[in-house]
């Protein structure tokens, strides 16, 4: 936001002295980055292979491992981004915000879809293995509630958060990034992370109830 304010402030000051088009705001340092970090792709491939093997083997420990590790990572990242890092980013100076964004967001492009896929696919297989996805299961209502929570989170993450993430990085790659666009997209990203973070609290309630049943 401060980049935008800075730009708007420069324009206002200039308008007071001469009626000319606002000059470009001062340049800021922007680290070089890849929108999709290629170095991370082999790690993603290994994780997906582990997921396929875990589902194919269909034994309790690999499925619990994949579901719990993936789910824990998903929950913690959402909560941390939504309630800790999000508000911190909002108060950062424009150069610091840009530097953090260019270093953090490309990693999120790989981490979040991988973690979500592993959690959901392993979770479904685990539910089938344990019989908890059957409608005869005593806590079936809680299971359906978890589907709904995950469904809402998925729609928000896929429809708003992920496109905003990619769009911010693409904008930052441009020779002349637009601070207003970055600000708008970052706000969308942080609000979405906050909403999914809040929904992760519901996930924690449901999963601990199921685990202790």
Partner 1 sequence: MNASPTPAGDAAAEPHLPPVTQLAMTSLALIVAGGIYLASHIPNSVPLTPAIVLLCASVALLAINLALLARVPDFAWRRFFEVAKWALLAYAIIAGMILYAFLRDSLSGGPLVVLTLSLVVFAVHVPLLIGFTVARYDTPANT
Over its C-alpha atoms, the chain yields an Rg (Å, rounded) of 21
Residues 138-167 close enough to bind partner 1 by CB under 8 A: 140, 143-144, 147-148, 151-152, 154-155, 158-160, 162-164, 166-167
Binding pattern for the stretch 123-142 against partner 1, x by CB under 8 A and - elsewhere: -xx--x----xxx----x--
DSSP string, 138-162: TTHHHHHHHHHHHHHHHHHIIIIIH
In the DSSP assignment, the letter for residue 25 is: P
Q: Which is nearer to partner 1, 43 or 84 (CB)?
A: 43
Contact between 72 and partner 1 per CB under 8 A: no
Contact between 175 and partner 1 per CB under 8 A: yes
Contact between 39 and partner 1 per CB under 8 A: no
Contact between 100 and partner 1 per CB under 8 A: no
Contact between 30 and partner 1 per CB under 8 A: yes
Residue 135 makes CB contacts below 8 A (sequence gap 6+) with none
- The per-residue b/e assignment along 54-84, b for 16 or more CB within 10 angstroms, e otherwise, is bbeeeeeebbbebbbbbbebbbebbbebbee
Torsion over CA: 38, 171, 85, 122 (sign): negative
Pick one of 16, 18, 20, 24: the residue that binds partner 1 (CB under 8 A). 24
Give CA–CA dist 127/66, Å, rounded. 13
Which residues of this protein are in contact with partner 1, per CB under 8 A?
3-4, 7-8, 11, 21-32, 36, 48, 51-52, 55-56, 58, 98, 113, 117, 120-121, 124-125, 128, 133-135, 140, 143-144, 147-148, 151-152, 154-155, 158-160, 162-164, 166-167, 170-172, 174-181, 184
């Amino acid at each position: 936001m401060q980049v935008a304010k800075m730009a708007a402030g420069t324009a206002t000051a200039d308008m007071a002295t001469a009626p000319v088009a606002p000059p470009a705001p001062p340049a800021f340092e922007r680290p070089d980055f890849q929108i999709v970090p290629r170095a991370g792709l082999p790690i993603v491939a290994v994780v997906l292979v582990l997921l396929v093997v875990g589902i194919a083997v269909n034994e309790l420990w690999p499925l619990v491992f994949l579901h719990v590790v993936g789910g824990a990572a998903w929950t913690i990242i959402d909560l941390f981004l939504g309630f800790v890092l999000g508000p911190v980013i909002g108060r950062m100076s424009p150069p610091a915000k840009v530097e953090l964004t260019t270093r953090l967001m490309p990693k999120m492009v790989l981490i979040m879809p991988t973690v979500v896929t592993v959690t959901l696919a392993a979770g479904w297989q685990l539910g089938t293995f344990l019989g908890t996805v059957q409608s005869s299961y005593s806590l079936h209502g809680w299971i359906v509630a978890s589907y709904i929570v995950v469904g809402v989170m998925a729609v928000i993450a896929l429809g708003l958060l992920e496109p905003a993430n990619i769009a911010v990085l693409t904008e930052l790659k441009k020779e002349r990034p637009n601070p207003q666009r970055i600000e708008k997209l970052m706000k969308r990203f942080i609000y979405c992370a906050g909403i999914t973070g809040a929904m992760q609290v519901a996930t924690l309630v449901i999963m601990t109830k199921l685990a202790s049943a």
